């Protein structure tokens, strides 16, 4: 393949209005948790609740994404991508902004539950719109840009949230209102997609899952779950506690965590180029290989600088694997079931995020954070080897299918 063709097929179409709207919508998604994380202690004090209750602002948000994403996928295929994205943006902005004037903590938690549902709608529809519009390496390229924007938001919004909460406990929540003009822009810019008759409820979800090859589906959804479990268990949970036990200042811990997001951005942006030269399975394997290497470095790190290096290596793995997982899932199904398949991936993602901190914190109570990072690296290495094996099976199957294709066939 010539370099000209490679550049064209892996190019990110920045001039596309749809791509701009999708990436802008994705940029708002990290408002959900990274923005308010610095505000949790202040919200706790404002309402006079304990740490466990304050943490409900995060866990309640993820819970709805785990449970309701498949139904959102069904709705997306049934009434169209644009309507669900616009409705999700409106709901995301209204419920988030309403928290700023919530009278009780119970109302705050209730609003977060509804907002988490809206966030799941944003995640599902943005990825589905990209997968519908592009194929091959260009799909990887745009999905990579989508992950890069997500990582950028996750890097920026904790700083923004920390600055706003210095003004008042509810100041960060006012920022959610920016989703409302974004919803209007999406409504006037996006074209409505074709809809699927009868795409509703559990029956639709079963149809979407049954359209997937079982082994491929289990592997990809398992990879999505494992990726987030390792990220939220090790980087988000174990590393801060480990550094705090060594007397490292919180601002330095924040810089270490920031290195993960910053490293993922350029790698994500290059995902289309990588997809020109290899398969999604090998990109996923490379991602888990980076997770393993990063966790091994974190375990053995003699200084905070080396810890930041290990976190950055882990972040590079995110850039390799996250777009590849979405591209691989998208390629396994037709348009009529794509939102459903990707919505189940979203459930697996949210489940990993919710499980990781609880699992790692529980295990650390008996084995310590250092050995836990080492064990996580071993698990990631095994996952990388399994992904390599899956890649070999996929290539072998493709060669067999190519050999069975009639001469002159399309």
Task: Evaluate whether residue 97 is within a structural domain.
Answer: yes
Q: What is the DSSP secondary-structure string of 92-152?
A: HHHHHHHHTT-SSHHHHHHHHHHHHHHHHHHHHHHHHHHHHH--HHHHHHHHHHHHHHHHH
d(CA 337, CA 231): 29
In a domain, 408, yes or no: no
Angle between helices 179-189 and 81-99 (to 10 degrees): 170
Contact between 201 and 340 (Cβ < 8 Å): no
User: Does the predicted model carry a pTM greater than 0.85?
Assistant: yes
Structural tokens at position 322: 């996250």
What band does 409 get if pLDDT is binned at 50, 70 and 90? very low
As a whole number of angstroms, the distance between CA 247 and CA 238 comes to 15
| 401 assigned to some structural domain | no
Residue 123: name the closest of 141, 143, 94 by CA. 143
- Give, as one character, the DSSP assignment of residue 302: S
Is the pLDDT confidence value at 47 over 90?
yes
CATH number at residue 128: 1.20.1250.20
Residue 245 lies in a domain: yes
Whether the per-residue pLDDT at 359 is higher than 70: the answer is yes
Cα 207 off chain centre by:
24
Count: domains in the chain: 1
- HSE of 12, CA atoms in CB hemisphere, 13 A: 20
- Whether 315 and 259 have beta carbons less than 8 Å apart is answered as yes
Reduced to 3 states (helix: H, G, I; strand: E, B; else coil), residue 213 is coil
- For residue 404, being part of any structural domain is answered with no
Q: Is residue 388 situated within a structural domain?
A: yes
| 254/155 Cα distance (integer angstroms) | 10
Whole domain around residue 240: which residue ranges? Answer: 3-396
Provide the pLDDT confidence category of residue 253 given band limits of 50, 70 and 90.
confident
Whether 21 is in a domain gets the answer yes
Q: What is the pLDDT of residue 354?
A: 86
On whether residue 184 sits in a domain, the answer given is: yes
């Amino acid at each position: 393949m010539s370099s000209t063709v490679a550049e064209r097929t892996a190019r990110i179409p920045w001039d596309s209005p749809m791509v701009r709207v999708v990436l802008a919508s994705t940029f708002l998604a990290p408002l959900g948790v990274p923005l308010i994380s610095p505000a949790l202690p202040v919200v706790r004090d404002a309402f006079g609740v304990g740490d466990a209750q304050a943490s409900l602002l995060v866990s309640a948000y993820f819970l709805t994404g785990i449970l309701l994403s498949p139904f959102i996928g069904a709705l997306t295929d049934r009434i169209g991508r644009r309507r669900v994205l616009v409705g999700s943006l409106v709901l995301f902005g209204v419920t988030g902004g309403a928290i700023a004037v919530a009278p009780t903590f119970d109302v705050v938690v209730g609003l977060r539950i509804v907002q988490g549902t809206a966030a799941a709608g944003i995640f599902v529809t943005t990825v589905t719109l990209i997968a519908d519009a592009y194929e091959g390496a260009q799909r990887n390229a745009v999905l990579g840009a989508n992950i890069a924007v997500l990582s950028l938001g996750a890097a920026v919004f904790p700083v923004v949230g920390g600055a706003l909460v210095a003004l008042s406990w509810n100041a960060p929540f006012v920022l959610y209102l920016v989703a409302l003009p974004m919803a209007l822009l999406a409504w006037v810019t996006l074209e409505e997609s074709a809809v699927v008759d009868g795409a509703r409820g559990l029956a639709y979800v079963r149809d979407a899952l049954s359209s997937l090859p079982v082994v491929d589906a289990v592997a990809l959804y398992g990879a999505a779950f494992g990726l987030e479990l390792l990220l939220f268990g090790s980087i988000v949970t174990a590393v801060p506690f480990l550094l705090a036990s060594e007397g490292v200042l919180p601002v330095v811990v924040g810089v270490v965590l920031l290195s993960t997001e910053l490293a993922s951005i350029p790698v994500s942006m290059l995902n289309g180029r990588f997809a020109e030269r290899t398969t999604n399975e090998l990109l996923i394997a490379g991602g888990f290989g980076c997770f393993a290497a990063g966790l091994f470095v974190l375990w053995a790190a003699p200084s905070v600088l080396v810890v930041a290096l290990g976190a950055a290596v882990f972040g590079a793995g995110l850039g390799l694997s996250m777009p590849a997982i979405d591209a691989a899932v998208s390629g396994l199904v037709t348009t009529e079931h794509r939102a459903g398949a990707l919505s189940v991936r979203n459930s697996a993602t949210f489940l990993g995020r919710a499980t990781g901190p609880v699992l790692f914190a529980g295990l650390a109570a008996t084995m310590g954070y250092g050995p836990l990072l080492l064990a996580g690296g071993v698990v990631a290495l095994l996952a990388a080897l399994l992904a390599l094996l899956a890649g070999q099976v996929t290539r072998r199957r493709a060669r067999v299918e190519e050999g069975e294709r009639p001469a002159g066939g399309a």
